[in-house]
Amino acid sequence: MIRARLLFSLLLVSPFAVHAQSDSVIANQYKPAADKLIEASLADGQGYANLAYLCDHIGKRISGSEPLERAIAWSADLMKKEGLTNVTVQPVMVPKWVRGKESGSIVAPVEKPLHMLGLGMSVGTEVGGITAEVVVVSNFEALAKLGRKGVEGKIVLYDAPYEGYGKTVMYRAAGASQAAALGAVGMLVRSITPLAMQTPHTGALQYDPKLPKIPAAAISPEDAMMLSRLYAEGQPVKVHLDMEAHMDADAQSGNVMGEIVGSEHPEEIVVLGGHIDSWDVGQGAQDDGSGIMATLAAVAEIKKLGMVPKRTIRVVFWVNEENGDAGGIAYRKMLGDKLSTQVAAIEMDGGAEAPVGYGYGSVGGRRRAVPGAAVQAAPPKLAPAEQHSLELLQQIGTLLKPIGADKVTEGGGGSDIAPMMKDGVPGLGEVTTAAHYFDWHHTEADTLDKVDPKEFRKNVASLAVMTWVLADMPEKLAGHKGVEGE
Ligand SMILES: [Zn+2]
């Protein structure tokens, strides 16, 4: 009986042992630490409590607003309370876009108010608003076909069905200028969302500086589809749009950061974080309150367990991701020629639904693929060093199997770490199921109740493990300037 059992266990163990020697050294070495971090993170409610405070007591926090500055001061205090050192606010100037009062309505052939939200960075209408005929297109090709004759003096509605955020968001981002190029006086866009719940989704637009700036707003998918139907009937469809939106002078703001200083290589830094600003609607709960509070909670967990990594861990709450990326750009600038101090960068900006793993962005950010952001059509092949790093990350990923977050795939990053990645810092995007993220994204409905406490804690656990191993393991990831080919 004993012999049989021994044989049985040998059969079970030996393939694993061979595997362990070849490519699971890191996973084996860090298994006890990872299990400890996962257990502690899943049992800790502090991170979610912090998120609740941020959402309910500070709330929405657009760049240039008073609540954002309150959130920054509160976050710096919180980092100190969690025991982090070198807590600082890096000064950053941010654009200040002000929505003002706004409304829109169909005035012909029927009368009906529109569920609308002006797009971030949009100009306002003239005082009293504009009334114009609407032309409806479902893509840029259809707009081009209409030509100047069909578009001049009109409001263009992009009624593009949702085909994933990355594919559809171009109408929101570039639609106003494309319409203005043909003489349009206003632009409406069907909200970039898979869910129709009479909820408009805002988000930033980018004006082409060479073209006239025209007012632009998102409308609910339902209203977009109704306008489409009326337009298809063939009679003139008219809309009235009244927006006070404008830019004020740039405002003083900042990136908040704090550290656990490394014991052996304090000058080498694993940086992780999300963005502290949000849109001026909802509470910025999923986007990106969950990202900043989960990354801080992960670092706090390491601190609470008394674990000291070999490298420094730095958590950063970047500012102004939503309408300018000033925080990420200023952080990159601050590093100057000391870019090689950043051993790895992790961003969480896809909400806190159940985590599934990470996307590895590799050298130069060539494979930046945040859930949502545009993915490069044909990314260059992985260099051998990058391939090795991907496999190393996949090994670390196996430590996250207990919480289902063990998938590490090629392509990932985030807007805030993109300026670093572009110059060679290996970046990781924390990836979740994002099953409902774009249902709430940039709306009045992005509120605390959308963040499930259990799923939030799993994100904390995942971040704690990945951060710990990257900050403690002997190797570094490829993409890091100076260690390429390592
Ligand atoms: Zn975000």
pLDDT tens digit sequence for 125-155: 999 999 999 999 999 999 999 999 999 999 9
What is the distance in A from the centroid of ligand 1 to the CA of 305?
30
**Residue 101: φ, ψ to 5°:** -75, 150
Residues constituting the chain = 486
Q: Do 272 and 300 touch, CB atoms closer than 8 A?
A: no
Overall average pLDDT of the 334-342 stretch: 95
Say if residue 486's pLDDT is above 90.
no
Say if residue 383's pLDDT is above 70.
yes
CA distance 476 to 482: 10
Beta strands in 165-294 (DSSP E): 186-190, 216-219, 238-243, 246-260, 265-275
What is the distance in A from the centroid of ligand 1 to the CA of 327?
13
What is the distance in A from the centroid of ligand 1 to the CA of 206?
17
For the purposes of burial, counting CB atoms within 10 Å of the CB of 485, is it exposed (0-12), middle (13-18) or buried (19 or more)? exposed
What is the distance in A from the centroid of ligand 1 to the CA of 322?
6
Sheet with 238-243, edge to edge strand ranges: 112-113, 102-108, 238-243, 130-137, 155-158, 186-190, 216-219, 116-118
> What does the DSSP assignment read for 86-143?
EEEEEEEEEEEEE--SEEEEEEESS-EE--EEEPBT-----TT-EEEEEEEESSHHHH
- pLDDT recorded at residue 385: 86
- pLDDT recorded at residue 380: 63
CA distance 53 to 56: 5
Overall average pLDDT of the 398-409 stretch: 97
Name the DSSP letter for residue 60. Answer: -
Domains of the chain: 28-95+249-472 (3.40.630.10), 100-244 (3.50.30.30)
Q: Do 376 and 426 touch, CB atoms closer than 8 A?
A: no
Overall average pLDDT of the 37-50 stretch: 98
Mean pLDDT value across the chain? 91
What is the distance in A from the centroid of ligand 1 to the CA of 286?
8
What is the distance in A from the centroid of ligand 1 to the CA of 287?
5
What is the distance in A from the centroid of ligand 1 to the CA of 238?
34
pLDDT confidence bin for 23, thresholds 50/70/90: low
What is the distance in A from the centroid of ligand 1 to the CA of 163?
19
Overall average pLDDT of the 248-266 stretch: 98
Q: Do 472 and 260 touch, CB atoms closer than 8 A?
A: no
What is the distance in A from the centroid of ligand 1 to the CA of 346?
14
Say if residue 287's pLDDT is above 60.
yes
Find all residues with CB under 8 Å of 358, minimum gap 6, and list them. 346, 393, 397, 407, 408, 409, 412, 428, 429, 430, 431, 466
Quick one: what percent of the chain has pLDDT higher than 70?
A: 90
Overall average pLDDT of the 348-374 stretch: 71
Closest CA to 431 of 362, 372, 363: 372
- pLDDT recorded at residue 379: 56
CA distance 265 to 267: 5
- pLDDT recorded at residue 13: 41
Alpha-carbon dihedral angle through residues 471, 472, 477, 483, given to the nearest 10 degrees? 100
CA distance 122 to 116: 13
Say if residue 479's pLDDT is above 80.
no
Enumerate the active-site residues. Answer: 321
Say if residue 463's pLDDT is above 80.
yes
Least confident of 6-20, 162-176, 301-315, 440-454: 6-20
Closest CA to 273 of 322, 330, 328: 328
